[in-house]
Amino acid sequence: MYDTSDIRKGLKVLMDGNPWTIIEFQFVKPGKGAAFTRTVFKNLLNGKTKEMNIRSGEKLEPANVDQREMTFLYKEAGDLVLMDQTNYEQVSVSAEMVGKAADLMKDNLPCTVLFFNERAIDVALPTFVFLEVTASEPGVRGDTSGNVQKPATVETGAEVMVPLFIRVGDMIKIDTRTHEYVERVAKTA
Amino acid sequence: MTLGRPDHRLGRVLAVDGGFAVVRGERGDYRVAAPPAWRAGDLVDGETVVRAFAGDDYPGPGSEVARLPGLRMAAMVSRGKALAALRGFFADRDFLEVETPLLVPSPGLEIHLDAVAAGPGFLITSPEYQMKRLLAGGFERIYQVCKCFRAGERGPHHASEFTMVEWYRGFAELDAIIKDTEELVAHVVTAVAGQALASYGGRAISVAPPWPRMTVRDAMRKWAGVDVIGDEPAADLVAAVRRAGIEIADGLAWDDAFFTAFLARVEPAITALDRPLILEDWPVPLAALAMRKPGEPLTALRFEAYVGGLELANAFGELTDPVEQRARFEDDQRIRRERGRPVYPIDHKLLAALAEGLPPSAGIALGFDRLVMLATGAPTIDQVLSFTTPEL
């Protein structure tokens, strides 16, 4: 069991049968009252948050949650298949878990998979991925104002808005959280 | 920062850039044209370097100047002004400043306060026992500014070692203390900030007297949806809190159930107010060292002053009955024992002083660090301390 002195950001606890992670906490102590830890929890299954004041000395049950580094293998009928490189175990999760970022996933992409009671409940992608542009109309010459963008298709098939100077064959950096182009990068042969 | 103040002669060069230097003088940081010989870290008198800094790369990490950025220095200057204003306030009202020992054999039995052990005794968690003995001895208006120590308290509003302002009025009622508090806070904030506007959480809060008042029961009913009686079993209060839609564990003690609802609903509501609040008439399980309200046995003569959600002060119509005081001490000891907390000895000399006769008195403890936070807008207590524990 955890105690209030164990509370820190990222601690995973079990409440009402759900796994929660602590995202914020603060020591509070009303005059003539006990010390409490004002704690904000995020539900790892549905992303909902809640705030609770936990009295010093109260116990929190650890959630059987663990994180494993896995690599993305392939997509199959709306599922993502990932593999643990240390023991070659494979796991299949719904692509909905990563949302729109699913179309930015390339073979062998390193991901962090969160398991709750041995079941995969979340897949975290690297913040940035580097992908090659496979199709894009050439930019209109003369129109170089910074904000104008055009659609480009990258090697995974995803469509991303890019600046006009990006050409087919360029390697670009994309933010998986926002699905947005960040910058052009040098190709590593 | 002012530009080239001629009255500044002595100082340390913090930075030299483009022909100008930033100098930290006795009255703060200022900017002057830099003579060519100046290097960052030098101590200067006028244009002369009186002690050249030996190293390079000033101020390095770990230097005192890096530890005290301009804002924190400004907070310390404000703190000094606040302390001077506070002493002026009490002098104007014929209060005697007293000093009582910090090292005592009986540090106080309050259930939720743990003392720091020191040599043969403990450091005080509050100076109230000795100050009450002075009242019994015949002093009528006394105040003290002193350090208090509470083990394990560390947070944005808590430091284990902090500064308390405590004052008492003999032959007076709680209303006089409310008036003192309102006037003192307005006076100190004005001395520091130039007007009676405290600042907390980025909001300005007028601290001009008089302050709005509300009873604890009204606040709990209005903001938490919980009716508090005062002698209901703890389980009933837990159930009432749960009915109000607040998550609460079973088996909590009465006070813990109360504060679960208070922290969830009442404190956030007080924080949102644009005026201070005097929260008065506490239910008797939270009486601490307060006497019962005449004619209302379930209510204690106690108030708390909140400004911007910051709990600034706690006051009692002082319990002067030695029999009831002894019973409360014994209860506190029993509860501390049951909860596995250290049990401190009863202060028999305080009980003897009550038996000798304490005049009807009212007193209050006010967190000086928090008052400085309000006067300066500092978001955490660390920013108004000259040293935090990790900096020692």
**What's the confidence (pLDDT) of residue B24?**
87
User: With bands split at pLDDT 50, 70 and 90, how would you rate the model's confidence at B72?
Assistant: confident
Contacts 24+ apart (CB under 8 A), A137-143: A138/A167, A139/A163, A139/A164, A139/A165, A139/A166, A140/A164
| Residues facing B30 on adjacent strands | B2, B23
Of A26, A30, A38, the CB nearest to B262: A30
**What's the confidence (pLDDT) of residue A188?**
65
Per-residue pLDDT tens digits for B106-141: 998 999 999 999 999 999 999 999 999 999 999 999
**What's the confidence (pLDDT) of residue A186?**
84
Cβ–Cβ gap A29/B264 under 8 Å: no
DSSP helix, strand, coil percent of chain A (3-state; round to 5):
5, 55, 40
Chain B positions in Cβ-Cβ contact with residue A35 (cut-off 8 Å): 112, 152-153
Per-residue pLDDT tens digits for B189-242: 999 999 999 999 889 999 999 999 999 999 999 999 999 999 999 999 999 999
User: With bands split at pLDDT 50, 70 and 90, how would you rate the model's confidence at B7?
Assistant: low
The better pLDDT of the pair B263, A164 is held by: B263
Minimum Cα–Cα distance from A57: chain B residue = B339
**What's the confidence (pLDDT) of residue B184?**
98
**What's the confidence (pLDDT) of residue B71?**
81
For residue A99 the two structure tokens come to 């949302």
Residues B208, B198: Cα–Cα separation, whole Å: 10
**What's the confidence (pLDDT) of residue B2?**
45
User: With bands split at pLDDT 50, 70 and 90, how would you rate the model's confidence at A97?
Assistant: confident
Cβ–Cβ gap B156/A32 under 8 Å: no
**What's the confidence (pLDDT) of residue B88?**
98
Per-residue pLDDT tens digits for B296-326: 999 999 999 999 999 999 999 999 999 999 9
Which of A13, A32, A51, A52 to probe by mutation at the B interface, max B CB count within 10 Å? A32
The better pLDDT of the pair A186, B353 is held by: B353
Q: In chain B, what percentage of residues exceed pLDDT 90?
A: 80
**What's the confidence (pLDDT) of residue B257?**
96
**What's the confidence (pLDDT) of residue A141?**
54
Range B94-100 average pLDDT = 98
Of A28, A50, A55, the CB nearest to B256: A55
Cβ–Cβ gap A27/B155 under 8 Å: yes
User: With bands split at pLDDT 50, 70 and 90, how would you rate the model's confidence at B4?
Assistant: very low
Res. B354: pLDDT tops 50 = yes
User: With bands split at pLDDT 50, 70 and 90, how would you rate the model's confidence at B1?
Assistant: very low
For residue A8 the two structure tokens come to 């820190």
For residue B306 the two structure tokens come to 């909140």
Range B270-278 average pLDDT = 96
Per-residue pLDDT tens digits for B163-204: 999 999 999 999 999 999 999 999 999 999 999 999 998 899
Res. B5: pLDDT tops 70 = no
Of A160, A150, A163, A155, give the one whose Cα is nearest residue A187: A155
Of A26, A33, A51, the CB nearest to B155: A26
User: With bands split at pLDDT 50, 70 and 90, how would you rate the model's confidence at B3?
Assistant: very low
Q: In chain A, what percentage of residues exceed pLDDT 90?
A: 70
Residues A68, B61: Cα–Cα separation, whole Å: 37
Of B311, B386, B374, B312, give the one whose Cα is nearest residue B82: B374
DSSP helix, strand, coil percent of chain B (3-state; round to 5):
35, 30, 35
List the strands of the sheet with A49-55, edge to edge: A2-3, A59-62, A12-15, A18-28, A36-43, A49-55
